[in-house]
């Protein structure tokens, strides 16, 4: 059926090294060493806006669908073997064997995966394919958290794989809840909960389920954003009379007020080095982006063109971009602006985007006609969107563990 595959399996008998037993699924045995070809190509570099044409063959069932989803989100277009620049093929049974070659049969990758569910094996292979092609780390095994609001429940926080699978609630409060933000290592989250009849900021340990108050001052305690490194939390408190930006440690100690706004500020996010906080301020009319040092100092406007009423900024992990929601006509669009300011690049309808650890993929919230909220994934260079299949109610406020 597939000439590549038959040729490969005949010339490359599977090694006995599957005896790497006990190792987790990522521990895979290299089958052949042809990967070290001298002419090494990084795909998608010349024109990042063009998807990498790949063919996918040999895989079945959940592995095939998972792999396809992962690779498409990562900027590949699945085409026929004749049109493909890269051939991805293999088999899945008790273990997954996967191969990546170019049209000239130069093998970029050949690996076997075992010791986890079919879905996890597929994710692991997908990450390796993306690394082999683009030299960037894949995101197929990352997690997201988001808010779910259903007809009979004002809100819970859920954690799921980035593709929406294995979604599980981490709260059972039946109270309004909002703005989850990951602590480092994906071990804890901060969020706003109305459980104690006010908008208060909590930290939530995902291993123990233990929760602690970070901020419960008079007024509202909103929009926690955990700093890279996890020692500090930026948040919006109105205790001083206006919604202003504050920073405290994760236990709420050492509270420091950073802004003194006339109208109010919202939606803080951190630069990846933890030195700067980006937020929006409504002091000069429609909301605009500002940045301020994590220790205070003078705030600076981030000057942008093509952004009107900027809300919900998120700073890319590589520090280069800020994804932000902008008003466009009656609706909202996701766009990216250079972190130092500049022209906005529009990425299409949506709101409240969060960066993946690869600084390339965004997850954002779509508001359908009539109000339902759902989550989608966006590959920024190719602007391709894939919906996240979730059937939980209104899903919004995604935040990517990174």
Partner 1 sequence: MKRTIFLKLATVALLAVVAVTGCRTKNPKNVTPIYGARTSVADDSRGDALTKLPTPKGPLDGITPGGTSGPSSNPAVGTAIPSGLTPGGIPGLTQQGGIPAADQGEFDGMPMDRSAFAANTIHFDYDKAIVKASELGKLQPVIAALKASRQNKLLIEGHCDERGTEEYNRALGERRALAIRAQLAKAGISPDRLRTTTLGEDKPAELGHTEAAWAKNRRGELVLLKPRN
Residues 203-242 that bind partner 1 (CB under 8 A): 203, 205-208, 210-220, 222-223, 230-232, 236, 238-242
The length of the chain is 402
Q: Which stretch binds partner 1 (CB under 8 A): 51-59, 164-172, 253-261, 378-386?
A: 253-261
Return phi, psi of residue 68, to 5°: -60, -45
Complex with partner 1: residue 70 or 352, whichever CB lies closer: 352
As measured in angstroms, the least distance from the Cβ of 290 to partner 1 is 8
In the sheet with 321-328, reading across from the earlier edge strand, the strands are 311-315, 321-328, 331-338, 345-349
Complex with partner 1: residue 22 or 185, whichever CB lies closer: 185
Residues 6+ apart with CB under 8 A from 401: 142, 143, 144, 145, 182, 186, 357
- The yes or no reply on residue 251 touching partner 1 (CB under 8 A) is yes
Q: Alpha-carbon dihedral of residues 105, 36, 51, 310, nearest 10 degrees? A: 170
Using the rule CB under 8 A, which residue among 44, 58, 264, 317 binds partner 1? Answer: 264
Complex with partner 1: residue 214 or 363, whichever CB lies closer: 214
Using the rule CB under 8 A, which residue among 262, 305, 329, 391 binds partner 1? Answer: 262
Kind plus residue range of the DSSP H or E element containing 131 = helix 118-134
Complex with partner 1: residue 268 or 317, whichever CB lies closer: 268
Interface pattern 277-316 for partner 1 (x via CB under 8 A)? ---xxxxx-xx--x--xxxxxxx-x-------x-xx----
As measured in angstroms, the least distance from the Cβ of 382 to partner 1 is 24
Report 327-356 residues binding partner 1 (CB under 8 A): 330, 332, 351-352
As measured in angstroms, the least distance from the Cβ of 144 to partner 1 is 16
As measured in angstroms, the least distance from the Cβ of 219 to partner 1 is 4
Q: Which two tokens stand for residue 31?
A: 């089958």
Total chain residues near partner 1 (CB under 8 A): 98
Interface pattern 363-402 for partner 1 (x via CB under 8 A)? --x-x-xxx------------------------xx-----
Cβ atoms 318, 286 nearer than 8 A = no
Cβ atoms 202, 193 nearer than 8 A = yes
Report 14-43 residues binding partner 1 (CB under 8 A): none
For residue 375, what are the CA distances in angstroms to 4, 120, 145, 197? Answer: 38, 21, 11, 28
* Residue in the structure block whose two tokens are 């909103």: 222
Report 116-155 residues binding partner 1 (CB under 8 A): 147, 149, 154-155
Distance from C-alpha of 325 to C-alpha of 334, rounded to nearest angstrom: 5
As measured in angstroms, the least distance from the Cβ of 340 to partner 1 is 17
Using the rule CB under 8 A, which residue among 122, 250, 322, 385 binds partner 1? Answer: 250
Kind plus residue range of the DSSP H or E element containing 313 = strand 311-315
Residues 6+ apart with CB under 8 A from 78: 54, 55, 56, 68, 71, 72
Report 41-80 residues binding partner 1 (CB under 8 A): none
Instruction: Name the 3-class secondary structure at 287.
Output: coil
């Amino acid at each position: 059926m597939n000439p590549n595959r038959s040729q490969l399996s005949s010339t490359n008998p599977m090694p006995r090294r599957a005896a790497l037993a006990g190792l987790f699924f990522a521990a895979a045995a290299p089958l052949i060493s042809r990967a070290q070809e001298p002419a090494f190509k990084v795909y998608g570099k010349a024109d990042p806006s063009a998807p990498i044409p790949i063919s996918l063959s040999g895989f079945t069932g959940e592995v095939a669908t998972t792999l396809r989803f992962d690779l498409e989100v990562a900027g590949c277009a699945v085409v026929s073997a004749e049109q493909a620049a890269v051939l991805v093929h293999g088999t899945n049974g008790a273990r997954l064997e996967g191969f990546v070659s170019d049209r000239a049969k130069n093998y970029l990758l050949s690996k076997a995966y075992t010791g986890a569910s079919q879905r996890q094996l597929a994710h692991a292979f997908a990450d390796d394919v993306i690394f082999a092609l683009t030299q960037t780390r894949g995101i197929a095994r990352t997690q997201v958290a988001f808010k779910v609001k259903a007809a009979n429940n004002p809100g819970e926080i859920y954690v799921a794989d980035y593709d929406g699978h294995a979604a599980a609630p981490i709260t059972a409060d039946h109270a309004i809840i909002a703005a989850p933000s990951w602590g480092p290592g994906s071990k804890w989250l901060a969020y706003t909960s109305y459980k104690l009849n006010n908008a208060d900021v909590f930290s939530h340990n995902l291993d123990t389920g233990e929760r602690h108050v970070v901020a419960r001052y008079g007024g509202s305690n909103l929009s926690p954003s955990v700093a890279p490194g996890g020692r500090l939390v930026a948040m919006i408190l109105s205790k001083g009379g206006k919604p202003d930006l504050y920073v405290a440690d994760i236990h709420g100690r050492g509270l420091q007020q950073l802004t003194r706004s006339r109208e109010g500020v919202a939606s803080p996010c951190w630069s990846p080095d933890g030195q700067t906080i980006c937020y929006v301020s409504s002091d000069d009319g429609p909301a605009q982006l500002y940045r301020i040092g994590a220790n205070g100092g003078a705030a600076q406007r981030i000057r942008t063109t093509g952004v009107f009423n900027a809300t919900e900024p998120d700073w890319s992990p590589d520090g280069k971009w800020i994804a932000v929601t902008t008003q466009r006509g009656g609706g909202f669009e996701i766009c990216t602006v250079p972190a130092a300011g500049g022209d906005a690049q529009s990425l299409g309808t949506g709101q409240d985007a969060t960066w993946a650890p690869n600084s390339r993929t965004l997850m954002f919230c779509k508001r359908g006609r009539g109000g339902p909220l759902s989550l989608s994934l966006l590959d920024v260079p190719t602007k391709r969107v894939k919906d996240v299949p979730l059937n939980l109610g209104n899903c919004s406020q995604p935040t990517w563990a990174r």
